[in-house]
């Protein structure tokens, strides 16, 4: 009987409340109240969330304490580490520890541009493009770039300029200028256009009638490790003395085996392309903190990271890249060239 009275008074109370509310809300509230009293109370009850039972929202934990750095762990190939350094896009640049005359290796990361990479190494954009046969459209993450310690020069074409005259002015190679700028040998240069001179050099000393042309020579200093290196060719005729980056030219027929001058790790192995004039070439890093370079080969049989012993065949003499005949261009970087 008391339950009936409770229901009666409750409904009267609800009716009085509804009189003071908009009509649009009447049905919803009355239905809700009726549903409460129209059925028996169920034994089951919904679980109640308390301050002890409510789940707490937490940010996902990143196992990397410096997630913004990009890149990754130090890459070790054999006993030679590629040291991470800050790259242009805030990543860690996988590059070999640099020296003034050393060849560096850089692995492209997402967001990198040629201009940023060139600036990081202190060379021109043309140097990066020239040494890797790459352009802004073909630059992509994961691509391994070889950074040569040289830089190109930009020349604004003036009336009367020809590729030959420009090459002479900057002590450069006319064929390289043609190839790098996608020019034809008989093409007229447009006045005001920009021409890149790969490995060009600005004359800093006045030339006199009695002066003689000399080959550019870089990186010829350093310690003397005469007995550390073995000749990369069993026999050869020296066709050109020290020039370029502490290099010499060793004449031999195409196909003559080329051997590692000392034990070490291959850091560059290119089997095609111009590659800054080296053609197909190999660079080996040695335990005495030097590098040796073997250029113009017809074929190399190495790969990056490969461990080689002194005297091991790494390729064969050729005439690729900037070459006028079969020979091996051999450089020692970081020490005197003993040959």
Q: For the chain, 339 residues long, give each residue's pLDDT as a single digit of tens.
A: 555 566 566 665 655 555 555 554 555 555 554 554 444 444 333 344 333 433 333 333 333 333 332 322 223 233 333 333 333 433 333 334 344 557 788 889 888 899 888 888 878 787 788 778 788 888 999 898 888 766 567 788 899 999 999 888 888 888 878 877 778 888 889 888 878 777 676 554 333 333 333 345 555 567 888 789 999 999 888 888 877 677 889 999 999 999 999 999 998 898 888 787 888 999 999 999 899 999 999 999 999 899 999 999 999 999 998 888 899 999 998 888 888
Say yes or no: 325 and 244 in one domain.
yes
For residue 168, being part of any structural domain is answered with yes
Number of domains making up the chain: 3
Could you say which of 197, 232, 257 is where a domain stops? 197
Say yes or no: 237 and 300 in one domain.
yes
User: Which CATH number do you get for residue 275?
Assistant: 2.70.70.10
CA 329 to chain CA centroid, Å, is: 25
- Which residues form the domain of 100? 78-147
Say yes or no: 248 and 317 in one domain.
yes
Bridge partner list, 257? 316
User: Which residues, 6 or more positions from 200, have their beta carbon under 8 angstroms from its beta carbon?
Assistant: 152, 153, 155, 170, 171, 172
Say yes or no: 324 and 226 in one domain.
yes
Say yes or no: 239 and 315 in one domain.
yes
Say yes or no: 141 and 165 in one domain.
no
pLDDT tens for each residue of 211-245? 333 345 555 567 888 789 999 999 888 888 877 67
Identify the residue whose tokens are 């009638």.
209
For residue 250, being part of any structural domain is answered with yes
Name the residue among 311, 306, 308, 303 with its Cα closest to residue 258.
311
Say yes or no: 193 and 247 in one domain.
no
Could you say which of 134, 168, 197 is where a domain stops? 197
d(CA 266, CA 293): 10
Say yes or no: 282 and 304 in one domain.
yes
Say yes or no: 172 and 191 in one domain.
yes
On whether the CB atoms of residues 326 and 284 are closer than 8 A, the answer is: no
Q: H-type helices in the chain, by residue range? A: 2-19, 26-37, 114-121, 125-132, 163-169, 174-180
For residue 284, being part of any structural domain is answered with yes
For residue 15, being part of any structural domain is answered with no
Q: Which pLDDT value is given to residue 20?
A: 57
Say yes or no: 115 and 136 in one domain.
yes
For residue 67, being part of any structural domain is answered with no
Q: Which pLDDT value is given to residue 260?
A: 96
d(CA 334, CA 219): 7
**Beta strands per DSSP E along the chain:** 75-77, 80-86, 92-96, 104-107, 144-147, 153-156, 194-197, 217-218, 237-245, 247-251, 257-259, 264-270, 280-286, 291-297, 299-300, 307-308, 313-316, 327-333
Say yes or no: 157 and 181 in one domain.
yes
Q: Which pLDDT value is given to residue 297?
A: 95
pLDDT tens for each residue of 256-278? 999 999 999 998 898 888 787 88
Say yes or no: 127 and 174 in one domain.
no
Relative to beta strand 327-333, strand 264-270 is unpaired
User: Which CATH number do you get for residue 142?
Assistant: 3.10.350.10
Q: Which pLDDT value is given to residue 88?
A: 40
d(CA 327, CA 339): 15
Could you say which of 110, 132, 147 is where a domain stops? 147
Bridge partner list, 318? 327
Q: Supply 87's token pair.
A: 């790259």
For residue 180, being part of any structural domain is answered with yes
For residue 87, being part of any structural domain is answered with yes
For residue 185, being part of any structural domain is answered with yes
């Amino acid at each position: 009987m008391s339950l009936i009275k409770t229901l009666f008074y409750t409904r009267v109370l609800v009716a009085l409340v509804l009189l003071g509310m908009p009509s649009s809300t009447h049905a919803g509230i009355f239905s809700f109240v009726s549903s409460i009293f129209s059925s028996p109370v169920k034994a089951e009850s919904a679980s109640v969330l308390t301050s002890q039972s409510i789940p707490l929202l937490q940010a996902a934990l990143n196992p990397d304490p410096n997630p913004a750095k990009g890149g990754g762990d130090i890459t070790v190939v054999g006993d030679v580490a590629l040291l991470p350094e800050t790259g242009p896009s805030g990543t860690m640049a996988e590059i070999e520890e640099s020296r003034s005359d050393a060849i560096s290796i850089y692995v492209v990361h997402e967001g990198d541009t040629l201009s940023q990479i060139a600036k990081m190494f202190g060379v021109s954009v043309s140097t990066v493009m020239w040494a890797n046969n790459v352009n802004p459209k073909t630059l992509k993450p994961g691509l391994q770039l070889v950074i040569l310690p040289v830089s190109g020069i930009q020349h604004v074409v003036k009336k009367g300029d020809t590729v030959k005259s420009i090459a002479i002015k900057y002590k450069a190679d006319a064929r390289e200028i043609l190839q790098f700028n996608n020019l034809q040998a008989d093409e007229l240069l447009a006045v005001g256009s920009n021409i890149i001179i790969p490995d060009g050099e600005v004359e800093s000393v006045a030339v006199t009638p009695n002066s003689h042309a000399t080959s550019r020579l870089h990186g010829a200093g350093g310690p003397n490790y005469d007995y550390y290196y073995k000749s990369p060719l069993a026999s050869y005729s020296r066709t050109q003395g020290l020039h370029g980056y502490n290099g010499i030219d060793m004449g031999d027929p195409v196909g003559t085996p080329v051997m590692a001058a000392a034990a070490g790790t291959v850091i560059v192995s290119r089997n095609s392309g111009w590659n800054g004039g080296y053609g197909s070439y190999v660079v080996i890093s040695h335990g005495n903190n030097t590098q040796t370079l073997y250029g113009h080969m017809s074929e190399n049989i190495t790969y990056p990271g490969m461990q080689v012993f002194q005297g091991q065949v790494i390729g064969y003499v050729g005439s690729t890249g900037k070459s006028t005949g079969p020979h091996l261009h051999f450089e020692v970087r970081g020490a005197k060239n003993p040959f």
